[in-house]
């Protein structure tokens, strides 16, 4: 059927150089980047490229967990292996852990019965279903330009019925930076970022390069932060209620940066400008796209998070299990670089903010040992830290298709136990 229906005379058309029916040109058409020239200027190997993510999960016995390093008193275990492409996590009120993926297109549900996990695939074939949010028992899955609502999902895991509510959200369908982290804010609104459709270009801020929010049903869209290149993680500060988000710096402008960002959107500054494409990191003007006073009226990051580190998921820790110094600190998963000759990032970092979330922010690596320095290879690609009700911290590893669990026991207690 396919072949007979499509018996065009392609060879002849190609030879004659004829043009096929006009395609639907994409709305955004960034200028063609000359990677070779950019790489020469930035003194980077032009052959740098994304690190492949296996579509098949690693076996539990193959996870490099014994190489992870944590501060004293903390330990890490495998919470669940065998979930290929695991990225976003979201715990339902009835205890189901939902897990979203990117390229693999699956959404998983992990239920715990008699202390054992059962993993179900509740949706597959989706276009980068990285965005998961939950309201009134309904799971919302944001997959590029599509938005699905699964009502009463935790009672229907074996028969999930999506309602397609994409139309109201009217999201762009670019694949470039087209995977979205989403979340409901304390205001009950659904926050959805739309990245720049390019590495570096002048986007239309009405459609791209921003964070927007909607009512749960897709009404009343508002843009609340502009000039954002690509955020794949945000969370609201537990004391101030302000939105903090990561943003990934541009590629092909050097091994040392511009660094990724952890930004704070101050209360009352909704709609503020964060600099892309003119001003990066802590005030670096772009070498390609120039304007006078590149960093004028730009909110600079609260803290930069390292060159090409791919700072993704964020979670403010509010639990009681970890020592007091972690209370109201943010954990950030740094997935690790690709556009850098020596690989960088690949850890779980912690950001502490002075003055109850209003003062200076400082970043410290927390869980390391994820990068094989000798082979210049990431062994693990972390995406999101996620606090459990008992105060332990889960973190997803997309590369190996696993979720790890970090716990803390004061050393004194550990010693007396032995």
Partner 1 sequence: MSFGSRIRNALGASAPTVLLVAGMAAAQAQSAASPERLELCATCHGPGGNSKTEKIPSLAGQPEFFLLNSLVLIREGVRKVEPMEPFMKDMKDDEIQALATYFAAQKPERTDEPIDRAQAQRGAQLADPRHCTSCHKPDLSGEQTAPRLAGQRADYILDALRAYRDNTRLGGDPAMSSAAQGLSDADIVALANYAASK
Residues in 30-49 at the binding interface with ligand HEC, rule: CB under 6 A: 49
Q: What token pair was written down for 278? A: 């003119």
219 binds partner 1 (CB under 8 A): no
- 82 contact, one of partner 1, ligand HEC, none, CB 5-8 Å limit per kind: partner 1
104-163: which residues touch partner 1 (CB under 8 A)?
Answer: 104-106, 108, 118-128, 143, 157-162
The site that binds ligand HEC (CB under 6 A) totals a number of residues, namely 2
Whole-number minimum distance, CB 54 to ligand HEC, in Å? 13
15 binds ligand HEC (CB under 6 A): no
Residue with tokens 């098949």: 56
CA dist 338 and 51 (Å) reads 6
**Residue 182 or 353 with smaller CB distance to partner 1:** 182
Structure tokens given for 20: 């096929």
The two three-digit tokens of residue 229, written as one number: 């290149």
- Residue 44 interacts, among ligand HEC, partner 1, none and using kind-specific CB cut-offs from 5 to 8 Å, with none
Is 5 a binding residue for ligand HEC by CB under 6 A? The answer is: no
Identity of the residue, 182 or 200, whose beta carbon is nearer to ligand HEC in the bound complex: 200
Q: Does the protein bind partner 1 through residue 18 (CB under 8 A)?
A: yes
Dihedral sign (CA 51, 55, 56, 60): positive
Q: Look up tokens 């290929």; give the residue.
A: 84
Contact (Cβ atoms closer than 8 angstroms) between residue 46 and residue 40: yes
CB of 55 vs ligand HEC, minimal distance in Å: 10
Site for ligand HEC in 290-329 (CB under 6 A): none
Least distance from ligand HEC to the Cβ atom of residue 141, Å: 22
Site for partner 1 in 155-194 (CB under 8 A): 157-162, 173-179
In terms of Cα–Cα distance, which of 127, 226, 137, 138 is closest to 173? Answer: 127
Residue 154 phi, psi dihedral angles, 5° rounding: -70, -15
Retrieve residue 76's tokens.
């890490």
Per partner kind, with CB cut-offs from 5 to 8 A, the member of ligand HEC, partner 1, none near residue 59 is: partner 1
> Of residues 384-403, which lie at the interface with partner 1 (CB under 8 A)?
399-401
End-to-end CA distance of the chain: 70
CA-CA distance, 351 to 379, in Å (whole number)? 23
Residue 60, interface with partner 1 (CB under 8 A)?
A: yes
Give how far Cα 38 sits from Cα of 253, 254, 360, Å.
Answer: 7, 9, 34
Q: What is the dihedral of CA 235, 105, 305, 222, to 10 degrees?
A: -40
Name the minimum Å distance from CB 50 to ligand HEC: 7
212 sits near partner 1 (criterion: CB under 8 A): no
3-state secondary structure of 294: coil
The partner in contact with residue 163, picked from partner 1, ligand HEC, none with C-beta cut-offs of 5 to 8 angstroms by kind, is none
Size of the site for partner 1 (CB under 8 A): 91
Whole-number Å distance between alpha carbons of 339 and 141: 30
Q: What does the alpha-carbon distance between residue 392 and residue 97 come to, in Å, rounded to a whole number? A: 14
Told to check if 34 binds partner 1 by CB under 8 A, we report yes
Site residues (CB under 6 A) for ligand HEC, limited to 46-85: 49
Residue 221 tokens read as 């869209």
* Nearer to ligand HEC among residue 49 and residue 267 (C-beta): 49
- Cross-strand bridge partners of residue 246: 262
Element (H, E) at 36: helix 35-42
Supply φ then ψ for residue 373, to 5 degrees.
-65, -40
Nearest distance in Å: CB 96, partner 1: 12
Report the residue from 40, 56, 187, 222 that binds partner 1 according to the rule CB under 8 A: 56
C-alpha atoms less than 13 angstroms from C-alpha of 73 in its C-beta half-sphere: 10
| Residue 2 makes contact with partner 1 by CB under 8 A | yes
47 is a site residue for partner 1 (CB under 8 A): yes
Does 6 bind partner 1 (CB under 8 A)? Our answer is yes
Q: Does 92 bind partner 1 (CB under 8 A)?
A: no
Asked if 19 is part of the footprint of ligand HEC (rule: CB under 6 A), the reply reads no
Q: Are 266 and 178 in contact (CB under 8 A)?
A: no
103 binds partner 1 (CB under 8 A): yes
Binding site for ligand HEC (CB under 6 A): 2, 49
């Amino acid at each position: 059927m396919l072949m007979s229906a499509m018996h065009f005379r392609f060879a002849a058309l190609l030879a004659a150089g004829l043009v096929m029916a006009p395609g639907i040109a994409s709305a955004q058409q960034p200028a063609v980047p000359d990677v070779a020239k950019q790489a020469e200027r930035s003194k980077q190997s032009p052959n740098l490229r994304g690190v492949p993510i296996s579509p098949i999960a690693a076996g539990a016995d193959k996870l490099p967990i014994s190489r992870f390093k944590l501060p004293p008193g903390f330990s890490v275990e495998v919470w669940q292996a065998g979930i290929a492409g695991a990225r976003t996590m979201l715990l339902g009120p009835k205890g189901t852990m939902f897990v979203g993926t990117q390229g693999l297109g699956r959404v998983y549900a992990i239920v715990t019965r008699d202390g054992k996990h059962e993993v179900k695939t509740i949706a597959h074939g989706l276009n980068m279903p990285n965005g998961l949010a939950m309201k009134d028992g309904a799971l919302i899955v944001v997959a590029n330009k599509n938005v699905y609502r699964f009502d009463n999902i935790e009672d229907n895991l074996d028969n999930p019925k999506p309602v397609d509510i994409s139309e109201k959200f009217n999201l762009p369908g670019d694949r470039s930076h087209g995977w979205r982290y989403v979340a409901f804010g304390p205001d009950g609104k659904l926050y959805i970022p739309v990245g720049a459709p390019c590495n570096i270009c002048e986007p239309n801020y009405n459609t791209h390069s921003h964070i927007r929010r909607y009512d749960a049903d897709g009404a009343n869209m508002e843009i609340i932060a502009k000039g954002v290149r690509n955020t794949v993680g945000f969370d609201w500060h537990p004391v101030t209620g302000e939105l903090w988000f990561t943003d990934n710096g541009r590629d092909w402008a050097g091994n040392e940066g511009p660094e990724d960002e952890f930004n704070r959107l101050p209360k009352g500054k909704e709609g503020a400008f964060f600099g892309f494409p003119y001003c990066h990191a802590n005030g670096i003007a772009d070498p390609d796209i120039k304007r006078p006073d590149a960093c004028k009226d730009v909110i600079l990051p609260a803290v930069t998070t390292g060159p090409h580190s791919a700072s993704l998921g964020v979670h403010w820790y509010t639990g009681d299990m970890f020592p007091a110094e972690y209370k109201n600190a943010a954990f950030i998963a740094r997935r690790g670089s690709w556009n850098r000759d020596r690989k960088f990032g690949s850890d779980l970092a912690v950001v502490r903010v002075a003055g109850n979330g209003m003062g200076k922010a400082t970043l410290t690596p927390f869980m390391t040992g994820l990068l094989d320095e000798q082979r210049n290879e990431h062994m693990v690609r972390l995406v999101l830290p996620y606090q459990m009700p008992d105060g332990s911290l889960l973190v997803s590893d997309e590369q190996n298709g696993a979720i790890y669990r970090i716990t803390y026991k004061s050393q004194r207690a550990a010693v007396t136990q032995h």
